[in-house]
Structure 1
């Protein structure tokens, strides 16, 4: 079992202790606080894991996509949103002078 997998088990164990312990028990409030703290830890770990996976995916995409040097794909504010086919097209240069319809 990995440490990240243990956290939910600790939450379940602490929750069960809260349910089975009388409210008059010396540690009743501490158990309730421990459940809240462990839930906060689990949420934080999940968020960090999502961010690490997001960064890994962005690095993978950056390695696969050719971009000009001045364009930086990996920026702190950028997030991976969707994976799918991508079509690259070059824009035609605008013709100088008047349009034929004018």
Structure 2
């Protein structure tokens, strides 16, 4: 991606994840950056951001979910559960 929309720093959650963009008649594999963050002062949500390095036919863009603390914890718990399943081969 020539013009990154996300700031990638040493604090970025995942700076290299395999990704797939899917749509009607579209499927493009790419590498993505994933970050979970919140504003430093007066945070009002947890932001989960994803940006593909090469979105294929899509214009440069970034997805951002704005999660409540409860939603972020639920997502974290699901991620841990599935990570354990993958590691365990279940």
Length-normalised TM-score, structure 1: 0.28
Considering fraction of residues, name the structure with more strand.
Answer: 2
Return the index of the structure with the highest Cα Rg.
Answer: 1
TM-score, normalisation: structure 2: 0.31
